[in-house]
Structure 1
Amino acid sequence: MQFVTPLLEGLKVNLEILVVSTLLAFLMAFLAGFGRLAKYRVVRGITLVYVEVFRGTSLLVQLFWMYFALPAMHVNVSAMAAAIIALGLNYGAYGSEVVRSCLLAVPKGQTEASIALNMTYPLRMRRIILPQAWRMMLPGFGNLQIELLKGTSLVYLITLADITYKGMILRSANISQQSLIFAWMLVIYFVVAYALVLLIRYFERRAAVGRG
């Protein structure tokens, strides 16, 4: 148990990054998801560039770019901010495809019926389309959140003292115990990931209430 306390101290950094970058990822997912379906070509084009750039390049390189390249361009970004921005934008790009595909999965007949009832676009999104799409989005968002959690293990490479950083420090001082140290790291990541799974399942049950 002597290794658990330092690892849990590092986990606090991972969880802080997870919470804030998840909020950013959700925001970008919805903005880009709706942007991909916009009627204006310019909006669709800008959104497509964002999605393809962040999905098509390495998260690690994005972290390095945020932390090392931006200061070289006279844009000062802390290690924590760089981690949150890179993770949020990266997983937001993946999440945008979840949003876009789920919005398109809602039967067109319901959209046509809401238009026939003279509903405005915001109203039919809020009352008709989004409630149905949200149920379909939750499993995809759950998977992405777990992936985001695992992605936080890279932030030690930009000097953040997360669980991986703490584990490597412990390993350096206790080479003979490295198997135990890494085993504890696996267990901690699994427990947090499973807690996220249970949370998403709770939201799925809540979203399904009264909808058959």
Structure 2
Amino acid sequence: MSLSFFDQFLSPQILGIPLILLALILPPTIIFTTTNRLTPNRLITIQTWFLLMATKQLLLPLNKQGHKWATILLSLMFFLLSLNMLGLLPYTFTPTTQLSMNMGLAIPLWLATVLIGMRNQPTMSLGHLLPEGTPTLLIPVLIIIETISLFIRPLALGVRLTANLTAGHLLIQLISTAVFVLLPTMTMTASITFIVLLLLTGLEIAVAMIQAYVFTLLLSLYLQENV
């Protein structure tokens, strides 16, 4: 093949027009719609239930002061979920497979949690750099290690999201290519490979949902230490 497997991470275009515009028609169907009815329809009921459940899980480790972040965390989770799911549609690419975008989300949000801790409770925030009961000789070493681990957190957030989605998309691309290659000569093998492809696609949908939740949950855990 003359094309690279990584070409799937580029936005497909026809005559310079991004085909992702076609895929943008679907997301409005899952957005809340206003209604004058006293009892909402089934779609709004399911959306409301999902919002309440997600909010409860995200705010579970936080105190009342951290509940101010409910809108930000919930919006972030649904933003990542929409991008991850949108990338599974034809004629699209997944923006969250780009490390630059994920780091652009992770670094400012992580920095906001650190600055909130430094402003509201500086003693406790700095206390995380040195565990209680540390021997005197190990204090400089542990401070350096904890500081490094603190600055690695946004990198871990961005790399985790990028690596999981990139690996899944590449695997789907490889298996789908194998199906097309084997179909003319080995029909039975191609059929079995196609079934594996369907199962992997279902798994990738689950990964897209889970990674959006994990990204937001880890951010809420970082916020827990600073509120």
Regarding TM over 0.5, the answer is: no
Q: Pick the TM interval, shorter chain.
A: 0.3 to 0.5
Q: Structure 1 length normalisation: TM-score?
A: 0.35
TM-score when normalising by structure 2: 0.33
